[in-house]
Amino acid sequence: MSTPKIRLDAVSKFFGGSVVAVEKLSLDIRDGEFLAIVGPSGCGKTTVLNMLAGLEPATSGTMMLNGKPIEGPGAERGVMFQDYALFPWRTVRGNVEFGLVYGPAGQGLSPAERTERVERTIEMVGLTGSQEKYPHQLSGGMRQRVALARLMANEPEILLMDEPLAALDAQTRVILQDELLRIWGQDRPAPERRTVVFITHAIDEAVFLADRVAVLSSHPGRLKQIVDINLPRPRGDATRRSGEFARLCQSIWELIREEAYRATMN
Amino acid sequence: MSVVSSTNAKAAGPTRLGGVLVYLRTMALFVLAWYAGSLLVPSKLLLPSPLAVAAALRDTALNGELFGNALISLARLSASMLAAVVIAVPLGLLMGRSRLWNDLLELPVEMLRPIAGIAWIPLALYLFGIGHRLPLFIMFYTAFFPLLVGTAAGAAAVDRRLIAAARTMGLSRSTIMRRVIVPAALPAILVSARLAVAASWTAVVAAELVGAPNGLGYAIEYYRSMLSTPTVMAFIVTIGLLGFLTDKGLRQLSRVLTPWAQTGAAQ
């Protein structure tokens, strides 16, 4: 493997001086890989993502992106937030085009190209016909798709996603998992794929989507193990039914079972 | 299509009419109580009957005094509100978003804010004399603080996640201010504008009472000195009505400008 896209070296994050959210996390994220991070609640998954996004500094350790230290947010790292963070005063279209209109992602695009990309992205997430609606007029699943479209329209190099499919019903979730893999580029050769860091609490989702699954332990958040997922691509329904898929889910579940029980019982 | 719209019209019709009827009934009760009161109070100077006030309203409306003075007061209110918005809203945004600006302005603001605008009238009389400038200053002063404090609170309360989302899209600080903070704080700004206008109306009378040669407040004071209570009450009613109408206008404005933030719209 070539140099990593993102390198975390002994990254720790303390809150209020004493609460340890993440402890000595070292992790290389490769260019074009789909990395899922799973772990019980309290393992600092969201904190890791916020640090990668440049929204929170690390207390210690180094975070490098393309060999340069991460010092703040940047348009090359797009984020999809757990609670969507849609702009309530903008319509579906207004949200999706936001980064292209006001941010660097739209530079060099003509208005016609911009409109074309916005409409294409809205169509991709199945929101055509709802362009003029405001977020408060949409269901939870539709809001999540708006957030996904807003992220995709900017075409960032790296997609940082915090439980992006958590609020969806089971069917929509399966459909958007397939869609996400298509957008990421599972049908294309590896060099043409984007880099995805995908946080989830759903083990089956992580196994289905990812090239590698980073399993974190909680209190404090530490890297427990990285599991390679060598299921063939493109993946689809056949993957979900395969014995290898079930075996991988089971082995990851065993890694975190004890802690998950403890977290739930407390 | 036409069937649907006609049933809609039928469904909407009685409800709207019902609302008007409830409103009229309340008003009628109030006027009746007033009328009964005026019969019990022996002096017409203390409490004139609603009929006398209605007659005074009609007379002042016909000779143009009512509209002339109302227009002058409205113009003063608009001018002082405009000035207050232009200065207080940007300052409030800075105070709400910047620690430095907040530290700089908080103390003087909190010391000036509790002082009623009318407390400045004696000083303002020396400064400005009688004319437009005194009521303009008092009304500006009265409108300024609700706007400033409301805007600062609105700007400080903007959802951090929205700002984070804009930052991850690479927006500059000034673009985030214009495209995220301002629209997100707009509902709060509009609420504080309603408070500012209402406060400004209360200041109109006091400021024009002493410091102006015309306007609704001046007219009230003039007819008081003429012992014409019905006309005084006619002008008081006019202020109440104008206050109600300007507030209704502002509420309509918030509905148009912030359709996403209306009550009933689930977040």
Predicted confidence (pLDDT) at residue B70 exceeds the cutoff of 70: yes
Cβ–Cβ below 8 Å for A98 and B169: yes
Give the chain B residue nearest A97 (alpha carbons): B169
Q: Which residue of B has its CA nearest to A103?
A: B171
Beta carbons of A36 and A214 less than 8 angstroms apart: yes
Enumerate domains of chain B plus CATH numbers: 35-40+48-258 (1.10.3720.10)
Question: Is residue B4 over pLDDT 60?
Answer: no
Pick from B161, B165, B183: CB nearest A89: B183
Q: How much is the average pLDDT of A87-100?
A: 96
pLDDT at B7 over 50: no
Yes or no, beta carbons of B180 and A83 under 8 Å apart: no
Residue keyed to tokens 């790292």: A77
Average pLDDT of every residue of chain A: 90
Pick the more confident residue, B266 or A196: A196
Angle at which helices B182-211 and B133-156 cross, to 10°: 160
At position B190, the amino acid (one-letter code) is: L
Scanning the structure block, which residue is given the tokens 């704080």? B185
- Token representation of residue B182: 């301002």
User: Are A83 and B161 inside 8 Å of each other by CB?
Assistant: yes
User: Taking a contact as any Cβ pair under 8 Å apart, which residues of chain A between 30 and 59 contact chain B?
Assistant: 53-55
pLDDT category of residue A179 using cuts at 50, 70 and 90? confident
User: Residue A23 pLDDT more than 60?
Assistant: yes
Beta-ladder partners of A94: none
- Which residue ranges make up each domain of chain A? 6-76+157-265, 85-156
Tell me: pLDDT of B71 over 60: yes
Q: Note the pLDDT tens digit of each residue in B194-204.
A: 999 999 999 88
The per-residue pLDDT for B14 is: 56
The rounded percent of chain B whose pLDDT value lies above 70 is: 93
Predicted pLDDT at B144: 96
Overall residue count recorded for chain B in this entry: 267
Task: Please write the tens of the pLDDT for every residue from B137-189.
Answer: 999 999 999 999 999 999 999 999 999 999 999 999 999 999 999 999 999 99
In this prediction, residue A266 carries a pLDDT of: 65
What per-residue confidence (pLDDT) applies to B197?
Answer: 96
Residue spans of alpha helices (H) in A58-169:
92-96, 98-102, 111-124, 140-153
- Round to whole Å and give the CA distance between A115 and A113: 5
Q: In what order do the strands lie in the sheet with A195-199?
A: A77-80, A158-162, A195-199, A34-38, A212-217, A222-228
- Asked whether the beta carbons of B136 and B208 are under 8 A apart, the reply is no
Would you state the pLDDT for residue B217? 92
Q: What is the pLDDT of residue A2?
A: 64
For chain A, give me the number of helices (H) and strands (E)?
A: 9, 10
What is the pLDDT, as a whole number, of residue A91? 96
Question: Does residue B1 carry a pLDDT above 50?
Answer: no
Structure tokens at A74: 């940047």
What is the least distance, in Å, from the CA of B212 to any CA of chain A?
A: 43
Quick one: average pLDDT of B71-96? Answer: 96
Which whole number is the average pLDDT over B194-217? 90
Query: Please, are residues A50 and A107 in contact by the beta-carbon 8 Å criterion?
Result: no
What value of ipTM does the predicted structure carry?
0.89
Tell whether omega for the bond before A88 is within 30 degrees of 0, i.e. cis.
no
| B137 burial type by CB count under 10 A (0-12 exposed, 13-18 middle, 19+ buried) | buried
Residue B231 has pLDDT above 50, yes or no: yes
A146-166: b or e for each residue (b if 16 or more CB lie within 10 Å)?
Answer: bbbbbbbbbbbbbbbbbbbbb
**Predicted confidence band at B263 (pLDDT cuts at 50, 70, 90)?**
low
- Whether the CB of A191 is below 8 Å from some CB of chain B: the reply is no
Question: What are B111-146's pLDDT values in tens digits?
Answer: 999 998 888 988 988 999 888 899 999 999 999 999
The pLDDT score that the predictor gives to residue B250 is: 95
How distant is the Cα of B182 from the closest Cα of chain A, in angstroms? 11
Q: Kindly indicate the confidence band of residue A185, based on its pLDDT and cuts at 50, 70 and 90.
A: confident
Kindly state the tokens that stand for B228: 């014409």
pLDDT of residue A16: 83
pLDDT digits (tens, 9 = 90+) for A116-134: 999 999 998 889 999 999 9
Binary contact (A83, B164; C-beta < 8 A):
no
pLDDT exceeds cutoff 90 at A141? no
pLDDT value for B8:
44
First to last CA, chain B: 32
Which helix (DSSP H) or strand (DSSP E) does residue A35 occupy?
A: strand A34-38
Task: Give A153 or A43, the one with higher predicted confidence.
Answer: A153
* CATH superfamily entry for domain A6-76+157-265: P-loop containing nucleotide triphosphate hydrolases (3.40.50.300)
- Give the pLDDT band (50/70/90) at residue A182: confident
Q: B188 touching A, CB under 8 A? A: no
* A259 vs B51, higher pLDDT: B51
Taking CA–CA distances from B172, the nearest residue in chain A reads: A103
DSSP A194: P
Q: What is the mean pLDDT of residues B247-258?
A: 94
pLDDT at B18: 81
Question: What is the 3 state secondary structure string of chain B?
Answer: CHHHHHHHHHHHHHHHHHHHHHHHHHHHHHHHHHHHHHHHCCCCCCCCCHHHHHHHHHHHHHCCHHHHHHHHHHHHHHHHHHHHHHHHHHHHHHHHHCHHHHHHHHHHHHHHCCCCHHHHHHHHHHHHCCCCHHHHHHHHHHHHHHHHHHHHHHHHCCCHHHHHHHHHCCCCHHHHHHHHHHHHHHHHHHHHHHHHHHHHHHHHHHHHHHHCCCCHHHHHHHHHHCCCHHHHHHHHHHHHHHHHHHHHHHHHHHHHHCHHHCCCCCC
The average confidence (pLDDT) of chain B is 89
- Give the best residue of A86, A87, A138, A155 to mutate against chain B (max B CB count within 10 A): A87
Looking at residue A76, its pLDDT comes to 93
Q: What is the pLDDT of residue A126?
A: 85
Of A74, A75, A134, which has the smallest distance from its Cβ to B260's Cβ? A134
Lowest mean pLDDT among A197-201, A260-264, B22-26: A260-264
pLDDT tier, A136 (very low <50, low <70, confident <90, very high otherwise): very high
- Residue-level pLDDT at B183: 97
Q: Residue A219 above 80 pLDDT?
A: no
A74 close contact with B: CB closer than 8 A: yes
